[in-house]
Chain A
């Protein structure tokens, strides 16, 4: 219950100091500095951020914890937030060449991968690195897709799944008033991207709403509830993955790594969200991994919702030509939206 789990620095984030960027809530001053560096070090031209990977272990054993108060933690969190809010929740759509410019002086592997990305993708939209980037990317990519395609069948389909999620939360014992407002705000956005009604909105309005603190955070929180409900509902399925990831119980995991705002998304979360809503998601990985043999390729993974959501009616899967319509770009620790050619 109490505080010891607060902000354990996650080493995973330091896998690739050069492009890892998401701020985390951390206890150690060093780690906070590293997180800030990683944030500002988005642009490798600055030469910053590269040192992040080694910063996690440097806490000296004789560190005086007794003089380390919650205030300090809060100050650090504030500092990290200040850094993060320099980027809007969602940026403007940029040509993919923006990415190439950013990594002009970066590793040759990254430069080649960005060139390869250009064969399939034309643009990207950045999101703020505040721990909610996956959910926010998903929110915008999905609503934008509906706004552009006016796919009413898809809307009808997802509405059923959302209803199902609500019932799941109820049967799990969640107090209704704790989640209903978040469901309400998402449904409002979903309805308003469908055109021809009094409440209909344009692309500009969708973008401005997605940048509005209340609407944006409420929709993010809606996805967190949906994700948590799915994980809890299928606890037997998710339990081994969670044990491997954090060594905690399903309940603890949902409480500490899914439901709080700012907690990052891992594979487990993506699987759960994709399954719960029946929406396929493609994640394209931009990292420095490469094979010794053969030409360089950009890896991607498609999260295809399984019918494991049991009731066959709910898990109607939405795909277009067998390919997910939501494509996200993953750089270690961060998600942005990608646009296909």
Chain B
């Protein structure tokens, strides 16, 4: 508990110091609980998520950084490796490939990379995975773009 708190505090200081280093990621720690964080990440360009801002929630276990943070999308997203209802993310570094060498910041970068490079062979969203697997890139992109517009962009007017 003490070790994880100390580590998270270091991450907090790093995030404050490097605020402008990565304009695609805004990591914010809960005011009253260092084990709860949220992040706003920018949809990567040249993907159907471009122009969207996606919110992630981080729930950090007491054994962090020996155990990975639990991360999920709060913003609805149509992506093969994200559960459409719960926002759960299928990413190896959040499961058994986790190591303390990762940080909350680098996890955000990995999630952005996953948005740009979906892995349709290990889908959590089968509809999305099946579109890609059957080669219907256009179908996948238009669905993903529609949900980006509906859920991840500011409403006009």
Contact = CB atoms under 8 A, between A and B. Distances in A.
A174 B118 CA distance: 26
Contact of A178 (B103, B110, B121): B103
B91 A256 contact: no
Majority secondary structure, A binding face: helix
Nearest to B99: A259
A2 B119 contact: yes
Interface string B108-127: 00100110011101111010
A178 B81 contact: no
B66 interface: yes
B15 to A, nearest CB: 11
B66 A221 contact: yes
Given A1-B110, A177-B11, A261-B66, A221 B90 contact: no
Contacts of A4: 119, 121-122
Contact of B96 (A6, A66, A175, A177): A6
Interface string A217-245: 11001001100100000000000000000
B10 A3 contact: no
Given A3-B81, A6-B122, A70-B124, A261 B99 contact: yes
A1 to B, nearest CB: 5
A181 B7 contact: yes
A174 B96 contact: no
A217 B66 contact: yes
Assign chain A's interface to a size class: 20 to 34
A307 B154 CA distance: 60
Contacts of B124: 69-70
A52 B132 CA distance: 37
Nearest to A261: B66
A260 B14 contact: no
A89 interface: no
Contacts, number: 90
A7 interface: yes
Contacts of A175: 14, 103
A27 B22 CA distance: 35
Nearest to A260: B99
Nearest to B122: A3
B88 interface: yes
A177 B99 contact: no
Interface residues of B, number: 34
A171 to B, nearest CB: 15
A221 B119 contact: no
A5 B119 CA distance: 11
A20 to B, nearest CB: 20
B21 interface: no
A260 B101 CA distance: 9
B97 A255 contact: yes
B6 interface: yes
Nearest to A224: B99
A1 B7 CA distance: 25
A214 interface: yes
Interface of B: 3, 6-7, 10-11, 14, 65-66, 81, 88, 90-93, 95-103, 110, 113-114, 117-119, 121-124, 126
14 contacts: A1-B93, A2-B91, A3-B90, A3-B122, A4-B119, A66-B126, A77-B96, A174-B101, A214-B3, A217-B66, A221-B99, A225-B101, A255-B99, A261-B98
Given A1-B117, A174-B101, 4 more contacts: A3-B95, A70-B124, A181-B3, A262-B96
